[in-house]
Amino acid sequence: MEQPVMKARSPVGQMCSVVAPASAKQPSSAPSPSNTMGPKEVELILVKEHNGVQFTTSTLVSPAGHPHGLALGPSHGHTPVPGEERETWGKKIDFLLSVIGFAVDLANVWRFPYLCYKNGGGAFLVPYLFFMVIAGMPLFYMELALGQYNREGAAGVWKICPIFKGVGFTVILISLYVGFYYNVIIAWALFYLFSSFTGELPWVHCNNTWNSPNCSDLWAFNNSLNDTHKSTPAAEYFERGVLHLQDSEGIADLGLPRWQLTSCLAVVIVVLYFSLWKGVKTSGKVVWITATMPYVVLTVLLLRGVTLPGAMDGIKAYLSVDFLRLCEPQVWIDAATQICFSLGVGFGVLIAFSSYNKFSNNCYRDAIITSSINSLTSFFSGFVIFSFLGYMSHKHSVPLDKVATDGPGLVFIIYPEAIATLPGSSVWAVIFFIMLLTLGIDSAMGGMESVITGLMDEFKFLHKHRELFTLFIVVSTFLISLFCVTNGGIYVFTLLDHFAAGTSILFGVLIEAIGIAWFYGVDRFSDDIEEMIGQRPGLYWRLCWKFVSPCFLLFMVVVSFATFNPPNYGTYTFPIWANMIGWCLAISSMTMVPLYAMYKMCTLPGKFCDRLAYAITPEHEHHLVDNGEVRRFTLQHWMVI
């Protein structure tokens, strides 16, 4: 079904079936040539639908001899290529589920509940919600609006300020680096899932070939959890049965990839490929399962968990309020860090997903809904986790802090150990690891889509080869991930986890916020949003974008450097050369910002001031620079909110 529409940009960006002048926004001090009497440009929008997926084609039509072909579509953002098609989400719910599925990941289960327990229980919600309101939601909203308005990936959106395009490549690289090890977590979950289809779970006893003499049988020991020389069957299954850590002496002794984990990793890669190869018309359907299944499983596990002895003690410890902990700086730092990483800003995923939205989609409402659901999921998962941790504490007669932990150890050691004590343990194990798989898959899909969309929008010829390019990305990721499934793969995993998306992603979001709020202009950005949804962001959002969020991010970058600790795994300390590789990995993404800025300044024509003017002015306004009108060289641009 095809429907041609002649369209001009009205102030609220709604589609209409009339021919009207196309306009671009100009500084108030300099009337635009397009505002004078004479021939006007119009944009021809072709909307067609195929298999429930809408595509839009934008073609700029201008009378012969018009001096300036203003870049429209939207009115001053993306310059469409004649005949270019960009698919949109088949249904609004596809987009919402994709964003929720990406933002709600394994960290919501293994990170937030532990931080809440460690930092004063319910009192931790005070700094968490505070940072959510002043930084988390504004940045989330900013990325959704940026991608939707410009209809480009993480690099392409920087037509609004070309000198900052390097930050687009920064976030694309970070997403790629995270994919190198994040897919391995999903492979572990898949391995556990296959291992759960047995009458007796393999992490129940110490009579397996991989067990060491230090293994204490789950059913026999009582207080030995506090004994550093003892280990549980679940811990040994993870480290010796799955990872085969005993066959490696460190990161310098990796060995060959384990075929079992390699096979699981290959299955994960195949699933990712066929979820992404056709774009949002395939990924938008996959998330109906991967984004909703975790909520079903969490609810089922909670109903089972609260019936266990000791469960209420665990939940009380999770919610116990200790407001005195709010006087400790580390509590606030933990809350700020959790906000930064839990919402998924800075990976380019939100920009990529929203770029497939319809232009008039209400991204403000989407930002509020999805960020709120993410935080509520983190809070809800705490009840599930601590009901089982309370049960473990009761069963082994040890304090709760002896079993409470975070990270992979929680979901691959402590929780499987608790499940193993239940009647019908194999069924509960299958249910739990299906939840981990679905939590991980859609987050991995988001990271991959960020890379694919970002590079395809930057290198237009790739649009015709989406399937092949997607195959290239996922296969490349698979080959690098093989280092993480060797005998010493956990050391590579730890190194990547520590350096790939730590300080670098905070730096990337900081530069992104400065580029949008200061160089592009928070007033111009607000105009863009008003054009899309018909409602201008309030003063609160504009103040957050221009002052509060950049200051918050700058603080976080400084704190991340000041509190840096070298990575370690248990008692293993990484050698200096490994830390150097880690820092090179982190710096490689951050250096994209200055390197691209220098490249841009060197390739633009004219004197230094002319080059700078072109570099910090949106591409659609370069004709104004030709006339000597550089808005960013005026004080008004920097002072307006």
Report the binding-site residues for Na(+): 101, 103-104, 108, 342, 374, 439, 442-443
601 in Cβ contact with 615 (< 8 Å) = yes
Q: Write phi, then psi, for 48 (nearest 5 degrees).
A: -135, 155
List Cβ neighbours of 453 (8 Å cut-off, separation of 6 or more): 153, 154, 348, 352, 355
Show the 3-state SS of 483-509.
HHHECCHHHHHHHHHHHCCCHHHHHHH
Dihedral of CA atoms 280, 281, 284, 285 in degrees, nearest 10, equals: -160
CA distances from 560 to 221, 334, 503, 505 (A): 40, 11, 6, 11
* CA 67, 68, 73, 75 torsion-angle sign: negative
C-alpha span between 248 and 365 (Å, rounded): 51
The DSSP call for residue 247 is G
C-alpha span between 121 and 119 (Å, rounded): 6
Gyration radius from the chain CA atoms: 26
190 in Cβ contact with 268 (< 8 Å) = yes
4 in Cβ contact with 524 (< 8 Å) = no
C-alpha span between 192 and 411 (Å, rounded): 11
Give the three-state DSSP class for 250. strand
Describe the crossing of helices 522-533 and 137-150 by its angle, rounded to 10 degrees.
70
| Pairing mode, strands 53-61 and 572-573 | unpaired
How many residues belong to the chain? 641
Dihedral of CA atoms 161, 163, 167, 168 in degrees, nearest 10, equals: 60
Give the three-state DSSP class for 570. coil
Binding residues, as ranges, are 101, 103-104, 108, 342, 374, 439, 442-443
Give the three-state DSSP class for 530. helix
